[in-house]
């Protein structure tokens, strides 16, 4: 059945992109032309959180191929096999039994054979380890030939199950066309990459985890190889044994091609850096280690003060705040985006006010702090007078953690501005208990009068709207402000 509302086919995809998935499903059942447009959006990115869902999808796209052949036989030319619509794949679930690994590998091979247009993939690496029964390894060469358009690959290891040796045989065949590569918490992966370095001529962004000195030395060689192409670098330090010292100046971060740099630190590693060069435009750093790193606090602030070309600055965690006003003052002519996620963010506001810092060029501001108050909003409007896109938040909604792998201490959870705190447990397939600590949002706290101090405001991030005292009085647009963690070039999308 076909019908027309008089809308050109070029307009329908624009309209459909604003629909919820369920509404898109309904549109796909309307007629063949709408089915083609809706399906192209529904199947563009697929994400799997369980082996059952993964297997179900593979069976669906296999049946779709048979349905396509039937449509061709009946002269229905608008229908395309669903697998051909898939451009991005995310397999984020782990395994609950060791023998699930072979099932995942088999399913991924079947998926790849039906999805030739995938250009971006994110995979949980342990599920692709060797089959525990007969030692068969995952066929990375076959994956490379089936996903011939793959340009972005993200591989993540696991800490919950300890350090594992992943099967990397022939994985270098996948690297040849990559523009973006992320290898997070994958033990020995960097040293494994070294023989394949000349085979990645297009590498533009790279993210890696450092476990030990050998990883760091391998990273230096990788960066030397791709100095002419690499524009984005994110480094995560997880060196919990023993305490190690690194001088990031060895990485030559200041080379002219590198525009974005991110530093994440979970351990007690001592890090020193004296310069970022004159070309860095996007800087992010997160300090989640238990002990303060005085050397890093001193050196990184001094390095940022020397940098005068920053367009985006983001920080989160437990870093010292004393030098931040100097950093912002040094980059006030170039900085246009500023993100903060800090337990003492309100103290930073006071420091900026005392230093009389004014950032007239910042148009996107994201400020997250547990103790943020309505009066702080007015202060932020004075410090950042020309903000157009704003995100404010003062508490997390929920935290999920596996009991036995992480300790939950309710003593350290601030209940200020939180109406209730619910703690519950439920069983998961492996038999472990999943403990959920849910912090329900407290009373709304942002007054419209405070937001009126932002005279150039165009849109609020979606998370900010529920915080408004009276949402009915607020007429600005909503927008999505993507947090910069692993997104070194932030995007603001007005709706």
The pLDDT value recorded for residue 164 is 54
Backbone angles phi, psi at 184, to 5 degrees: -105, 125
Q: Which long-range contacts (CB under 8 A, 24 or more apart) does 483-487 make?
A: 483/339, 483/341, 483/366, 484/262, 484/282, 484/284, 484/312, 484/314, 484/339, 485/284, 485/286, 485/314, 485/316, 486/182, 486/207, 486/234, 486/262
Range in 79-93, 131-145, 175-189, 232-246 with the lowest mean pLDDT: 131-145
Residues 6+ apart with CB under 8 A from 422: 436, 437, 438, 440
Q: How confident is the model at residue 172 (pLDDT cuts 50, 70, 90)?
A: confident
CA–CA separation, 19 and 31 (whole Å): 17
Which pLDDT score, from 0 to 100, does residue 421 have?
42
The pLDDT of residue 65 is 64
Check pLDDT > 60 for residue 406. no
**Residue 120 binned pLDDT confidence (cut-offs 50, 70, 90):** very high
Instruction: Work out the pLDDT band at 413, boundaries 50, 70, 90.
Output: very low
Mean local confidence (pLDDT), 479-491: 72
pLDDT of residue 119: 95
Give the model's pLDDT for residue 16. Answer: 84
The pLDDT of residue 387: 97
Average pLDDT, the chain: 79
- Rounded to an integer, the average pLDDT of 426-453 is 64
- What confidence score (pLDDT) does residue 136 get? 62
Q: What pLDDT does residue 216 have?
A: 92
Which range, of 73-87, 155-169, 233-247, averages the lowest pLDDT? 155-169
Reported as a pLDDT band with limits 50, 70 and 90, residue 160 is low
Checking if the pLDDT of 9 tops 60, the result is yes
| CA proximity to 85, closest of 57, 50, 104 | 57
Q: Which residue has the higher pLDDT, 486 or 183?
A: 183
* pLDDT tens per residue, range 342-377: 988 999 999 999 999 999 999 999 999 988 999 999
Q: Per DSSP, what are the bridge partners of residue 285?
A: 263, 315
What does R_g of the chain's alpha carbons equal in angstroms? 25
Q: For strands 492-494 and 477-481, give the pairing.
A: antiparallel
- Inform me whether the pLDDT recorded for 384 exceeds 90: yes
pLDDT 10s digits, 190-203? 887 877 677 778 88
- Selected residue with higher pLDDT from 88 and 7: 88
> Any idea which residue has 């760091």 for tokens?
216
CA distance 183 to 294: 28
Largest separation between any pair of C-alpha atoms in the chain: 75
Please tell me the predicted confidence (pLDDT) of residue 1.
Answer: 45
CA nearest neighbour of 50 among 90, 84, 23: 90
- Residue 133, exposed/middle/buried by CB under 10 A (0-12, 13-18, 19+)? exposed
pLDDT computed for residue 135 by the predictor: 52
In whole angstroms, what is the distance from residue 458 CA to residue 53 CA? Answer: 40
* Residue 94: predicted pLDDT: 58
* Closest to 476 measured CA to CA, from 465, 467, 466: 465
Greater model confidence, 4 or 292: 292
Q: Is a pLDDT exceeding 70 seen at residue 411?
A: no
User: Which of the listed ranges 185-189, 207-211, 300-304 does the model predict with the highest average pLDDT?
Assistant: 207-211
Average confidence (pLDDT) over 143-159: 88
Answer with the residue of higher pLDDT: 224 or 295: 224
Residue of 195 and 472 predicted with greater confidence: 472
pLDDT of amino acid 431: 45
pLDDT score for 146: 94
The pLDDT assigned to 378 comes to 95
> Using one digit for the tens of pLDDT, what is the confidence trace for 13-27?
878 887 888 888 888
DSSP symbol at 411: G
Q: Classify domain 1-42 at the CATH class level.
A: mainly alpha
């Amino acid at each position: 059945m076909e019908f027309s509302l008089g809308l050109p086919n070029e307009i329908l995809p624009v309209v459909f992109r604003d629909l919820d998935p369920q509404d898109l499903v309904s549109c796909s059942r309307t007629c063949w032309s709408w089915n083609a447009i809706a399906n192209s959006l529904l199947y563009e990115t697929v994400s799997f959180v369980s082996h059952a869902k993964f297997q179900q999808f593979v069976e669906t796209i296999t049946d779709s191929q048979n349905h396509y052949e039937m449509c061709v036989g009946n002269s229905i030319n608008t229908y395309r096999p669903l697998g051909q619509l898939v451009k991005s794949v995310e397999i984020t679930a782990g395994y609950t039994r060791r023998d699930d690994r072979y099932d995942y590998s088999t399913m991924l091979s079947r998926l790849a054979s039906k999805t030739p247009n995938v250009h971006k993939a994110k995979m949980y690496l342990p599920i692709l380890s060797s089959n525990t029964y007969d030692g068969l390894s995952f066929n990375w060469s076959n994956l490379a030939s089936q996903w011939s358009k793959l340009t972005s690959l993200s591989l993540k290891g696991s800490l919950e199950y300890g350090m594992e040796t992943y099967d990397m045989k022939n994985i270098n065949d996948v690297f040849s066309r990559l523009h973006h590569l992320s290898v997070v918490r994958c033990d020995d992966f960097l040293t494994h990459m070294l023989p394949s370095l000349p085979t990645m001529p297009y590498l533009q962004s790279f993210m890696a985890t450092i476990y030990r000195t050998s990883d760091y030395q391998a990273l230096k060689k990788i960066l030397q190889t791709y100095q002419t192409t690499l524009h984005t670098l994110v480094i995560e330090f997880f060196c919990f044994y023993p305490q190690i010292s690194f001088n990031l100046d060895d990485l030559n971060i200041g080379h002219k091609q590198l525009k974005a740099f991110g530093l994440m630190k979970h351990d007690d590693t001592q890090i020193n850096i004296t310069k970022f060069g004159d070309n860095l435009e996007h800087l992010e750093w997160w300090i989640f280690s238990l002990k303060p790193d005085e050397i890093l606090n001193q050196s990184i602030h001094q390095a940022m003060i020397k940098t005068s070309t920053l367009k985006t600055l983001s920080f989160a965690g437990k870093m010292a705040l004393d030098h931040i006003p100097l950093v912002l003052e040094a980059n006030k002519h170039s900085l246009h985006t500023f993100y903060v996620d800090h337990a003492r963010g309100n103290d930073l506001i006071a420091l900026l006010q005392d230093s009389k810092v004014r950032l007239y060029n910042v148009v996107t501001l994201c400020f997250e702090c547990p103790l943020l108050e309505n009066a702080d909003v007015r202060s932020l409007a004075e410090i950042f007078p020309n903000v157009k896109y704003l995100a404010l938040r003062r508490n997390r909604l929920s935290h999920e953690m596996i009991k036995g792998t992480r300790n939950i201490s309710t003593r350290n959870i601030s209940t200020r501005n939180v109406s209730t705190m619910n703690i519950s447990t439920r069983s998961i397939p492996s038999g472990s208990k999943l403990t959920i600590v849910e912090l329900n949002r407290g009373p709304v706290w942002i007054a419209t009068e405070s937001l009126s101090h932002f005279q150039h405001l165009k849109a609020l991030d979606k998370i900010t709207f529920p915080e408004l005292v009276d949402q009915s009085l607020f007429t600005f647009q909503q927008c999505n402000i993507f947090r910069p963690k692993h997104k070194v070039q932030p995007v603001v999308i007005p709706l």
